[in-house]
Amino acid sequence: MFKKVAIGISGGVDSAVAALFLKRLGYHVEGVFMRNWDHNYEAGFCSDEKDFEDASFVCRKLDIPLHKVHFIKEYWNEVFTVLLKEYETGLTPNPDILCNRYIKFDSFFEHCRNNLGIDAIATGHYANTSFGPYLEFYKENEGNNSVD
């Protein structure tokens, strides 16, 4: 069964509450703050430093470790350039879908599994799974484990 969960913690309420719920359920929770954009390329304001301060505050309050990981290159290649190409063809893509697919449920998951030894990932966002609300229906090595 899952014991160690990495939560993508943004500094916002949703991920903070998800981390609290998981901790209260007895999971070993580790926070991971993802930096997906390099504000050096922007002329405008990027709040990632303030967001990281908020994530740090939440993790201190919950007494969970916090890791910071950069997926700037992955986000640029898998989300942003695809978004621009689709705009050029007249489409209106949703970058959140691409980010979920390529960053959260690919790069983030692989990083956490390979570098932090986690059993599962979580975010403050809703997802339908066949595992149950708290992974209670997960059966190891079964082919029907899926995320909708």
CATH code of 13's domain: 3.40.50.620
> Is residue 111 in some structural domain?
no
> Is residue 88 in some structural domain?
no
- How many residues are listed for the chain in this entry? 148
> Is residue 48 in some structural domain?
yes
> Is residue 26 in some structural domain?
yes
> Is residue 106 in some structural domain?
no
Specify the pLDDT at position 89. 94
> Is residue 103 in some structural domain?
no
Looking at the structure of the chain, the number of domains it has is 1
Specify the pLDDT at position 96. 85
> Is residue 67 in some structural domain?
yes
Ranges 9-13, 45-49, 51-55: which has the least confidence: 45-49
Ranges 42-46, 93-97, 116-120, 126-130: which has the least confidence: 42-46
Question: What per-residue string of b and e applies to 69-79 under the rule 16 or more CB within 10 Å gives b?
Answer: bebbebbeebb
> Is residue 84 in some structural domain?
no
Domain with 62 in it: 4-73+118-122
Alpha-carbon distance of 80 to 88, in angstroms, equals 12
Q: What is the mean pLDDT of residues 10-31?
A: 92
